[in-house]
Chains A and B, each alone.
Chain A
């Protein structure tokens, strides 16, 4: 390429080519007072800590309490994870994050034929009560919050095991805090749909956790719907929040049907796990708009009287999808930008992705870098000093208002369809997401969306800044890890009192046939104490609900 040609080819980078947000909202060159017309400060914006909480859920925001500083964890055995927990707590982490392995999400045990090679591989395997002892050895559950990333029906069992463990350890249940994802509906279009079906049963079990938790673990968040996965599978910023809110209405309506007043449970179910992508201002306004939509819905549709019912807690894992495998060091810049959007958006908790997330689960070095992104933002940059510093900006308030309107349009549309389960089963939500995913990929391919190092500003592998990235375990090691876990569970089956297990499971089976209103958590805890496994517990519940014992229909109940 001649030098003249080269100069010409870079000239198109001299202007900002972007004229709309990622979700397709048109952007003007400049915003002014006229863009605030129709926006009333008291009704639409209000001070931080005041309804509708657009500006944040607390009056002094981070001066009152900083966001919870978490880092993605979950690897290998429960003992490995425990070691990483202790390392992170020693480095300033204030919350722990537990990501389940593939088979825990699937609700199958490590000795299931399809589990071969998967147990304890890309997350931690939780199958029985004993696992909680290894996972939290030496860590006081009254002093740290634990966030479980278990989305499927398995979440019910993980929660039951956690509570049974906390009881056995003598912790004051009213003092343990944290959250569990526990939202299966979204799995149909995002991850492990096999362990979310039938949807009615999955939603019932998730509601059992909510009901049990508000009575017994009052500081726990028993459901934290996974907006993140929907975003990563295509949903744009508006859809991400609108779909999630529509899904949450399913649980709210179930709890109301069980006889609970909205104010009795809403404060505990108002936590979303979202993504934060690279479109900086759109993401900030997404958080502001979602808080407002939630608050209005709780008050106006469900008649909430308590302010706590209208406060939406937002937590984030920064978008893994926005990261590149090319030039991984660039991801530190991306994650920092996304983390800054989280702070300016007034989040309660977030974990910055590791710069090597595109490779494997974080190395100790990338986990430390992620943790220090928290520390730099929280203690060095001074960005957290003032609550909602962007409020009043013509652009920010106008975009927030626009996103709120668009979210409500989708929520109302799903309501007209009969709710989120119906809109899922009909395939509508899934096809909306596919449409957005294809649009986004096309834009990347046509370079309408620039991704540095991937579709533009590329360099050869040799020119990349050298940086350590997480490496896959070699196949043999992966198989050995899984085999070891499989053997542990086989051994558990051989050494436990199988008669006691069977009695407990049969009792659970009987209770599981009692229908929607009968809470299964106590019976699950009883089965766990008798050393029943995740697969067995879900299996008998499925059978009692006219579904196969094994979601893959490979194995049978054999006790």
Chain B
């Protein structure tokens, strides 16, 4: 039985060499305020070290951010693939930053959700994370 005090554990990371981390700095603050446990990896990560951390930490969510260019279409699917290889596909993957409209269907198909950006109110993000974790990870309503 899940009690209401159970904390969402979330890995926040940017893959690749993108340096635009304003978003994740603020997001991490908001998530902590909302009572989540944030494992902050910051910038300059590889999909491998993000997945390793998420598994080692037994995280519920991996939150990925990317803004600079188009390489997220390589990094994000790679994170999903690695989770699958490691038998950890039950970790929810979400993405934000500057994810262009045309790429979203493909990412959604891989189970990536969110696509939050500059103007998304943070309560919307928190709500999305909590609902998805409860539904898919904790299997509670």
| Chain A minimum-CB-distance residue to B123 | A445
| Chain A residues, Cβ within 8 Å of B119 | 324, 326, 454-455
* Contact status B118-A324, CB under 8 Å: yes
Contact A103 B17 (CB under 8 A): yes
Interface membership of A118, Cβ < 8 A = yes
Q: Is B110 an interface position by the 8 A CB rule?
A: no
Question: How does the 8 Å CB contact mask read for A75-119 relative to B, with 1 for contact and 0 for none?
Answer: 000000000000000000000000000110010000000110110
Residues of B within 8 A of A325 (CB): 98, 117-118
**Chain A nearest Cβ from B23, distance in angstroms:** 9
Specify which of B73, B98, B117, B121 is in contact with A475 (CB 8 Å cutoff).
Answer: B73
Q: Evaluate whether A118 and B71 lie within 8 angstroms (CB atoms) in the complex, with A191-B19, A194-B44, A441-B26 already known.
A: yes
Residue ID in chain B nearest A478 by CB atoms = B70
List residues of chain A with CB within 8 A of the CB of B19.
Answer: 102, 190-192
The verdict on B22 contacting chain A, using a C-beta distance below 8 Å, is yes
Contact in complex: B118, A117 (CB < 8 Å)? no
User: B29: CB under 8 A from chain A?
Assistant: yes
- A173 sits at the interface (CB 8 A): no
Q: Assess whether A233 is interfacial by the CB under 8 Å rule.
A: yes
Q: In the bound complex, what is the Cα–Cα distance between A106 and B18 (angstroms)?
A: 11
The answer to whether A232 touches B70, judged by C-beta atoms less than 8 angstroms apart, is no
| A106 to B21 alpha-carbon distance, docked (Å) | 16
* Size bin of chain B's contact surface: 20 to 34
Residues of B within 8 A of A106 (CB): 17
Q: Which of B18, B21, B29, B118 contacts A438 (CB 8 A)?
A: B29
Residues in chain A near residue B117, CB distance under 8 A = 325
Instruction: Give every chain B residue within 8 A of A552 (Cβ-Cβ).
Output: 44
A192 vs B121: C-alpha distance in the bound complex, in angstroms? 29
> How many angstroms from the CA of A183 to the CA of B56 in the assembled complex?
37
Cβ of B100 < 8 Å from any Cβ of A?
Answer: yes
Q: Is the CB of B22 within 8 A of A122?
A: no
A472 at interface, CB cutoff 8 A: yes
Decide if A249 is an interface residue (CB 8 Å cutoff).
no
B22 and A438 form a contact (CB under 8 A): no
Given contacts A454-B119, A475-B70, A478-B71, contact A118 B25 (CB under 8 A): no
**Residues on the A chain within 8 Å of B118, using CB:** 324-325, 358, 454
At the interface, yes or no: B34 with Cβ under 8 Å from chain A? Answer: no
Q: At the interface, yes or no: A434 with Cβ under 8 Å from chain B?
A: yes
Query: Could you list which residues of chain A lie within 8 angstroms of chain B, going by C-beta atoms?
Result: 102-103, 106, 114-115, 117-118, 121-122, 190-192, 194, 232-234, 321, 324-326, 358, 434, 437-438, 441, 445, 454-455, 472-475, 478, 552
Offer 8 A-B interface pairs, CB within 8 angstroms, sorted by A: A102-B19, A114-B46, A190-B19, A325-B117, A437-B26, A454-B118, A472-B70, A475-B74
For the A-B complex with A118-B71, A358-B118, A434-B29 known, give 12 more contacts whose Cβ atoms are closer than 8 Å: A102-B18, A103-B17, A122-B69, A190-B19, A234-B25, A325-B98, A326-B119, A434-B25, A437-B22, A438-B29, A441-B26, A478-B71
Give the 7 A-B CB pairs with smallest separation, nearest first: A441-B26, A191-B19, A475-B70, A117-B71, A102-B17, A454-B119, A475-B73
